[in-house]
C-alpha cells in the first residue's frame, strides 16, 4: 500500500458509527426528542442562550457561589465561559477528581472572532480587558479566537459591554452550538485569492449565530471557509467546510466537505462532490447544521459528533438527504481543489492585491499578554494599518502595510516577540492550553513547547530542515492542538520512564493536512512504547530530526511525513 493510500484510509476506519443496538441513538428525526441523558435533559429545559440574563442580573451580583451548578457546568459555555483548573493539582489527579474538585472560582473566557478579522480598536479593547480583568493573560487559539483567564463572574457584564461596543461577542463561543467560523486570514486582500469568503462568513454569522433553532446540537459544530488556494483553514478537520474552487463551466465557488474532527477517534472530512455557488453557501451550511441537529447521535456523548453519522451514511446518502430534505434542490457536481502551492500560515511578507503588504508573524505557541496586545495595536497604527487577522495556526497577520513601512514594522514586531522570519520550529509549533488552566489536561503544554522551541533553535542551528515541520503539543488525548495531523504530535499523558511514572507525551509521527508539500491529508503514525517525558521534547525532536536529515531520500525530496511512515521503528525512537 502506498503512503497516500495508507494515510487516507486510516481516518475512515477510526470513526465508525455505533454498533446496532436495541437502544435508540437519540436521533430526533428517527427516535423522537425524548432526552436520553442528563446533558440532553438540561439542554431541552434551557439550551443556554437565556443564561446571559442570569449572569448579568443574578450571578454577577451574588458571586461564584450563587451560580446554579447546571448553569455553571453547562449553559455558561454557550457564552464562552469555562471554569479553569485550580492551581496546584497535578496531572495524575485529573481523572480521579470531579469537575467541582478540579475547578477554580475563575473562568477561561473565549472571545469569538469569526474569520479571525480584527481592527486595532478591537484588539486594544481585548488587550485592556486582559489588563483590567484577566491578570494580563491572552492566548491566540488554533481556531482564531483569543482566550483570557482569571475572569470573575462579577466582571463579565462589563467585559461584554466593552466587547460589544466594538462589534465583538462571545455568543456560542463554546458548547453544543455552531462555534466560531474559521476564515482565510487573507480574505479580501491576497493577490492570489480565488474569492473573498467574507460575505459568506458574515452572512452565516448574522443569520444563524444565536438562532434558538440551532442552539441545541448533539455536540460542538465547527465551520471553516476559505477562498485562498493555500487552503488555509484546516478544512479537513471541521464538521462542515467550504473550499474555493474553479468550476470549468460555473466559475468560482466552493467545494463542500463534511464530517471532519479529531479528538480520541479522529476522522478526516470528506468531499460531497458538490459545487456550491457563493449565493448557496448560507443555505448549504444551514442544511448541514440541521442534519446534525436532527440526525446526529445524542444518547452517548462520545458518539455525538457529525463524523459518526457520516461514517454510517457515507457521502452519497448525506448529499441526498441534504438536497432532498433541507435544500429542496440539487447541487451541481464539482471538482476538487488542486494541491496548495504556498504555505497556509501566511508567515512572512506578501504583497496585497491593492499594492500594500500583509505581514504574517509568529508568536511563540500563540501566547501573548494583554500589554502585548495593546503594544501591538499601537505599533500597527504607527505604520499606517488598522487591521489584522488571527489564524488557525496560532499566528497573526497584519494587513494594509504601505511598502515604505514594511521594513521598520517588521523590526518593531520582532521586538514584541512576533517574528516575520521565524525559525522552522517557532513557525511550526502550536500548543493547547494545557494543565495551567484546563481541567482536562494531564501535562503542561505552553511552557514546555516554548522551552523546546528555544532549545531547538540553538541545538539545530547547524541543520537545514528542507521543508516546513509542524510540532503540535497537547495536554490530554482530546487533540485541541491537532496532534494527529502534525509531523510530530505529542499527546499528553502519564508515561513510565525508567520505572517511574511522570508527566509526558505519546508520540504521533507523519500526520498532516493538504499543503504545499503534501497532496492528501493523513493521520500520524504511532509507534508502540514511544513516549517522551514532559521535559524531554527538545531531546526527542533533535534526535528524530537529525535522523531524518541523515536518512531522507534527497533525490525524491522526501518530506518528514513520508520518511516517518516508511522508517523502521528503531529510527523513530
Beta strands in 320-456 (DSSP E): 332-333, 348-351, 357-361, 387-390, 396-401, 429-431
Query: Domains of the chain by range and CATH?
Result: 427-572 (3.30.413.10)
Q: In what order do the strands lie in the sheet with 357-361?
A: 117-119, 387-390, 396-401, 357-361, 348-351
Please report which confidence band the pLDDT of residue 20 belongs to, taking 50, 70 and 90 as the band edges: low
Is the per-residue pLDDT at 19 higher than 90? Answer: no
Report the predicted TM-score, pTM, of the whole model to 2 decimal places: 0.95
Please give the average per-residue pLDDT across 100-121, as a whole number.
97
If you average pLDDT over every residue of the chain, what do you get? 95
State the Cα–Cα distance between residues 409 and 402, nearest whole angstrom: 10
In this predicted structure, the answer to whether residue 203 has a pLDDT above a threshold of 90 is yes
**Residue 394 — φ and ψ, nearest 5°?**
60, 35
| H/E run at residue 84 | strand 81-85
DSSP structural state of residue 340: P
Is the confidence at residue 565, as pLDDT, over 60?
yes
The torsion defined by the Cα of 550, 555, 559 and 564, in degrees rounded to 10, comes to -60
pLDDT above 90 coverage of the chain, percent: 94
Question: Please, which pLDDT band fits residue 497 given cuts at 50, 70 and 90?
Answer: confident
Strand (E) or helix (H) holding 89: none
Q: Provide the pLDDT for residue 22.
A: 75
pLDDT for res 8: 34
Provide the 8-state DSSP code for 465.
-
What is the spatial distance between Cα 418 and Cα 395, in angstroms, rounded to a whole number? 9
pLDDT above 90: residue 498:
no
Supply the pLDDT for residue 1: 25
State residue 12's pLDDT score: 42
Q: pLDDT band for 11, please (50, 70, 90 cuts).
A: very low
Mean pLDDT across 534-558: 97
CB 310 within 8 A of CB 270: yes
Which of these ranges, 14-23, 32-41, 151-160, 327-336, has the smallest mean pLDDT? 14-23
Amino acid at each position: 500500500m502506498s503512503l497516500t493510500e495508507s494515510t487516507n484510509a486510516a481516518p475512515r476506519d477510526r470513526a465508525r458509527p455505533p454498533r446496532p443496538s436495541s437502544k435508540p441513538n437519540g436521533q430526533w428525526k428517527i427516535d423522537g426528542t425524548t432526552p436520553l441523558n442528563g446533558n440532553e435533559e438540561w439542554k431541552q429545559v434551557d439550551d443556554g442562550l437565556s443564561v446571559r440574563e442570569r449572569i448579568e442580573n443574578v450571578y454577577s451580583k451574588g458571586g461564584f457561589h450563587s451560580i446554579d451548578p447546571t448553569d455553571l457546568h453547562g449553559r455558561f459555555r454557550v457564552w464562552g465561559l469555562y471554569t479553569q483548573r485550580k492551581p496546584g493539582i497535578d496531572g495524575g489527579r485529573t481523572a480521579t477528581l470531579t469537575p467541582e474538585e478540579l475547578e477554580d472560582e475563575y473562568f477561561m473566557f473565549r472571545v469569538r472572532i469569526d474569520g479571525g478579522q480584527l481592527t486595532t480598536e478591537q484588539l486594544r479593547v481585548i488587550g485592556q480587558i486582559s489588563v483590567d480583568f484577566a491578570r494580563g493573560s491572552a492566548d491566540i487559539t488554533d481556531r482564531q479566537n483569543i482566550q483570557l483567564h482569571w475572569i470573575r463572574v462579577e466582571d463579565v457584564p462589563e467585559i461584554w459591554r466593552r466587547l460589544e461596543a466594538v462589534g465583538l461577542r462571545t455568543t456560542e463561543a463554546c458548547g453544543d452550538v455552531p462555534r466560531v467560523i474559521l476564515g482565510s486570514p487573507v480574505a479580501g486582500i491576497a493577490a492570489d485569492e480565488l474569492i473573498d469568503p467574507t460575505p459568506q462568513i458574515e452572512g452565516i454569522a448574522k443569520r444563524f449565530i444565536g438562532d434558538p433553532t440551532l442552539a441545541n446540537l448533539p455536540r460542538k459544530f465547527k465551520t471553516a471557509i476559505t477562498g485562498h488556494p493555500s487552503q488555509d483553514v484546516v478544512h479537513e478537520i471541521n464538521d462542515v467546510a467550504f473550499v474555493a474552487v474553479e468550476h470549468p463551466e460555473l466559475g468560482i465557488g466552493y467545494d463542500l466537505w463534511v464530517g471532519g474532527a479529531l479528538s480520541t477517534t479522529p476522522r478526516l472530512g470528506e468531499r460531497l462532490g458538490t459545487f456550491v455557488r457563493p449565493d448557496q453557501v448560507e443555505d448549504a451550511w444551514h442544511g448541514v447544521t440541521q442534519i446534525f441537529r436532527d440526525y446526529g447521535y445524542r444518547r452517548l456523548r462520545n458518539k455525538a459528533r457529525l463524523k459518526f453519522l457520516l461514517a454510517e451514511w457515507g457521502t452519497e446518502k448525506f448529499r441526498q438527504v441534504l438536497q432532498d430534505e433541507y435544500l429542496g434542490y440539487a447541487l451541481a457536481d464539482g471538482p476538487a481543489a488542486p494541491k496548495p502551492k504556498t504555505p497556509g500560515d501566511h508567515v512572512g511578507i506578501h504583497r496585497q492585491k491593492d499594492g500594500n503588504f500583509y505581514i504574517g508573524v509568529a508568536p511563540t505557541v500563540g501566547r501573548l499578554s494583554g500589554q502585548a496586545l495593546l503594544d501591538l495595536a499601537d505599533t500597527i497604527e504607527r505604520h499606517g494599518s488598522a487591521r489584522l487577522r488571527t489564524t488557525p495556526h496560532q499566528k497573526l497577520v497584519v494587513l494594509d502595510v504601505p511598502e515604505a513601512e514594511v521594513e521598520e514594522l517588521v523590526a518593531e514586531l520582532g521586538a514584541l516577540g512576533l517574528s516575520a522570519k521565524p525559525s522552522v520550529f517557532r513557525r511550526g509549533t502550536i500548543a493547547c492550553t494545557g494543565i495551567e488552566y484546563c481541567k482536562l489536561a494531564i501535562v503542561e503544554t505552553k511552557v514546555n513547547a516554548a522551552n523546546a522551541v528555544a532549545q531547538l533553535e540553538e541545538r539545530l542551528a547547524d541543520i537545514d530542515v528542507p521543508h516546513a515541520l509542524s510540532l503540535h503539543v497537547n495536554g490530554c488525548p482530546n487533540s485541541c492542538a491537532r496532534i494527529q495531523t502534525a509531523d510530530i504530535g505529542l499527546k499528553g499523558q502519564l508515561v513510565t520512564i525508567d520505572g517511574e511514572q511522570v508527566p509526558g507525551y505519546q508520540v504521533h509521527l507523519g500526520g498532516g493536512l493538504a499543503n504545499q508539500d503534501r497532496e492528501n491529508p493523513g493521520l500520524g503514525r504511532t509507534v508502540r512504547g514511544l513516549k517522551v517525558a514532559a521535559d524531554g521534547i527538545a531531546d526527542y525532536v533533535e534526535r528524530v530530526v537529525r535522523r531524518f536529515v541523515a536518512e531522507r531520500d534527497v533525490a525524491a525530496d522526501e518530506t518528514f511525513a513520508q520518511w516517518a511512515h516508511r522508517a523502521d521503528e528503531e529510527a523513530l525512537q
